[in-house]
Amino acid sequence: MKDFTPVCTTEIIAFSKANTYFEQRNSCLLGLSVDSNASHLAWVYDIYCKTGIQIPFPIIADRNGKIARQYGMISSNSSTSETVRNVFIIDPNQIVRLILIYPMEIGRCIPEILRCIDALQVADSNKASIPANWLNGEPIIIKSPTTFNDLMTRKKEINKNKNGFEWYLSFEIPKTKK
């Protein structure tokens, strides 16, 4: 992120408005910018004066780009010093579970980021996988059978319940939510 730039300003406002949705998912937002803390303060104050929105999460100053470089956020295709728009979803065990990379010209999609958090949480709590275009509350993919007997049992379940495509692809409603 870069202070006082058009796309980043729309993103910081949008993330601020959506912060409650992240908190409901037990997730914390954190901004990282190559600008100084003084620049961050002036920028968030400018946003507040023009919109009334207070930024509810910290923005870290990464003046030398050390953190951005460690996380691979500087794209040599775009610039040698400007970061691309990255989103890292890091789980409670400090493991990076998902990385979304947007070019500098494209703002991040908050509904997709929230969907990804939901998907990771539901997949983890159900020990299952998440299908394409999934939305919270929709069926998830049941773990595939690993033995021939389990395959045959799954085939019978699919025929009875009409909950699958084939033995390797069947669905269920999540037992637990995020």
Active site residues: 8
Residues 6+ apart with CB under 8 A from 44: 12, 54, 55, 59
Dihedral of the alpha carbons of 123, 131, 140, 117, in degrees to the nearest 10: 40
Which residue intervals of 127-173 are DSSP H helices? 148-161
Strands 59-61 and 85-90: unpaired
Dihedrals φ, ψ of 97, to 5°?
-100, -25
